Structure 1
Amino acid sequence: MMNIAPCLAVSDPLATADFYKKLGFGVLDTGPLDPGHPLLIITHDGKPALMIQGQESLRELLPAMQSGLGCSGIHYFTVADFDTTVERIRPLVDVVQDTVVNHDRTGREFFFRDPDGYILGIFGPDDWGAFRRQTEST
């Protein structure tokens, strides 16, 4: 099965990596780190979740990319202990939408903004076992 990890254009990859580290994410260097074109992998539960790269570096690679930062979506992270995770990160982030029940009433969500304005969501399923069974590869 393929893993999908969006590559986000950011203004300062090292500062963005520090932000995610403060929230408890891991950071992998694609190494050796090229200070002029840093590409870092943000991990969640030991697996790649996001890649971050300087916007100028990405545009050198892909000149057709839209200018400026931005994404018309939400990047979600599923956590087993929603309350603990949200309470830990709430004081460290710009909260966009505090805890709400998700639209299909299977769990709760919390939304915040990273330093470059990307919106991230934390999802906590009401029934973690059922969620794991539903999302496991067959």
Structure 2
Amino acid sequence: MESLSPNIFTNDMNATVAFYKLLGFETTMTVPETGDDLVWAMMNNGGVTFMFQTFESMAEELPEIKRTNGGSLLLYVNVTDINGLFESIKDKVTVLKGLEKTFYGATEFSILDNNNYVLTFAQHGE
């Protein structure tokens, strides 16, 4: 195995792309390539790649893909400037858990994205 790129499903692609841009992600590829009716987008920030896709675009091909009342998924993202990231987004997102030092030596905080997924950002060895 070489990498992991989650494909996260959403009901509102434009809101999702805007949310992740707020976190510093850049859009690298979309379907369609232009326009506002996106059904899929790939976004990167450093070594982290997320793909986003509408539920409707997979409804016929994979009807098993569905979700209600949030997901039982936490995306854990390692960063190099935890304090800078927290300060730049804390007033623009829903913070679930503020900056704290863990027993295993990481500094972390958790937020809720616009699709009710939990994102935990961590810096180890700080």
Please tell me the TM-score bracket, short chain as reference: 0.7 to 0.9
Query: Which residue identity does 2:58 align to in structure 1?
Result: L
- Alpha-carbon offset, residue 59 of structure 1: 2.5
Amino acid across the alignment from 1:76: Y
1:8 maps to which residue?
A: 8
Quote how far apart the aligned CAs of 1:2 are: 2.0
Q: Distance in 1 between matches of 2:24 and 2:7?
A: 19
C-alpha separation in 2, matches of 1:56 and 1:31 = 13
- Which residue does the alignment assign to 1:52? 52
In structure 1, distance between residues paired with 2:37 and 2:118 = 26
- Deviations, residues 95-125 of structure 1 (Å, cap 9, x unaligned): 1111122342x21111001111111011011
Q: Distance in 2 between matches of 1:13 and 1:40?
A: 8
Question: What letter matches 1:94 in structure 2?
Answer: T
1:53 offset after TM fit, Å?
0.8
The one-letter code sitting in structure 1 at the alignment partner of 2:97 is Q
Q: Counting strand residues as a fraction of each chain, which structure ranks higher? A: 2
Aligned-residue Cα RMSD (Å) equals 2.1
Structure 1 residues 100 and 91, CA gap change in structure 2 (3 angstroms): same
**What TM-score, normalized by structure 2, do the two folds share?**
0.85
Same amino acid, percent of matched pairs: 27
Distance, in Å, in 2 between the alignment partners of 1:17 and 1:6 is 15
Q: Which moved more, 1:19-28 or 1:65-74?
A: 65-74
1:95 aligns with 2:102: no
In structure 2, the CA distance between the partners of 1:119 and 1:71, relative to structure 1 (3 Å rule), is same
| Stretches of structure 2 lacking an aligned partner (at least 5 in a row) | none
Which consecutive unaligned segments of at least 5 residues does structure 1 have?
Answer: 128-138
Corresponding letter in the other structure for 2:19: F
Aligned to 1:111: 110
1:113 alignment partner AA: L
Residue 116 of structure 1 aligns to a residue whose secondary structure is coil
SS at structure 2 position matched to 1:61: coil
The residue number in structure 2 matching 1:134 is none
SS in 2 for 1:21: helix
